[in-house]
Amino acid sequence: MWKSLALGCALASGALAQTPSSVDFANLREDVRGLTQRVGELTLRLEQLERENAELRQRSGAVEKNHATLALLNERIADLNRNIRAAVATSKEEVLQQVSGQLEKLGKQTNAALESLAKNPTAKAAGATAFAEDFPKEGLSYTVQKGDTLAVIARKTGAKQQDIVNANKISDPSRIVVGQTLFIPGGK
């Protein structure tokens, strides 16, 4: 670029050394104007390249910052994982201690109940229902219908209500269900 400008100036000087004509001056002026314009374009391009270079430097600095941030983030995640593992281990230990205490308490209660039963073998367990075995072993099957009660079924089949209870081991006579099949001892 500068060589072109120097060549243009040299040509202009050479042209002045000879007898200049108005055409030569016009041509020379045009050449200088073209060179000036070219120098201006190159100056603008140089400024643009400098701006792009500065922008690239900023971006590379941001990448370095991000890299440092990612490394810090990875370190924090590792710390968090260690803390979580420690908390889980502590929690497991606490739960195991609670369960151990509850099992020990349950064991003591069970042992006390067994000792109580061993001391009094004739005592019945609370809530246990005893069923007699003195009912007829032959009979028929009956499917409970809507509106049936044990009393109604006993009347229909000619069986004793207590025999039906004992044969089917019904602890709550009010809880028979429609569709349930019952053995009716001695029924007809």
**Does CATH number 3.10.350.10 belong to domain 139-185?**
yes
SS3 readout for 100-169: HHHHHHHHHHHHHHHHHHHHCCCCCCCCCCCCCCCCCCCEEEEECCCCCCHHHHHHHHCCCHHHHHHHHC
Structure tokens at 61: 């600095």
52-100 pLDDT tens trace: 999 998 888 777 766 667 888 888 999 999 999 999 999 999 999 999 9
Give the lowest-confidence range in 66-70, 94-98, 108-112, 176-180: 66-70
Give the lowest-confidence range in 73-77, 116-120, 138-142: 116-120
Which position has the higher pLDDT, 9 or 49?
A: 49
Asked if residue 162 has pLDDT above 90, the reply is: yes
- pLDDT value, residue 25: 87
pTM tops 0.75: no
Neighbours of 184 (CB within 10 A): 23
15-36 pLDDT tens trace: 455 566 888 888 999 999 999 9
Distance, CA of 178 to CA of 163 (rounded, Å): 20
Distance, CA of 156 to CA of 173 (rounded, Å): 17
- pLDDT value, residue 62: 72
Q: Give me the residue spans of the domains in the chain.
A: 2-63, 139-185
Whether 138 and 186 have beta carbons less than 8 Å apart is answered as yes
Asked if residue 123 has pLDDT above 70, the reply is: no
Burial of 167 (0-12, 13-18, 19+ CB in 10 A): buried
- Sequence letter at residue 14: G
Distance, CA of 89 to CA of 95 (rounded, Å): 10
- Sequence letter at residue 73: L
Neighbours of 162 (CB within 10 A): 16
Which position has the higher pLDDT, 116 or 52?
A: 52
- pLDDT value, residue 147: 93
Whether 132 and 160 have beta carbons less than 8 Å apart is answered as no
Give the lowest-confidence range in 18-32, 123-137, 153-167, 173-187: 123-137
Whether 187 and 138 have beta carbons less than 8 Å apart is answered as no
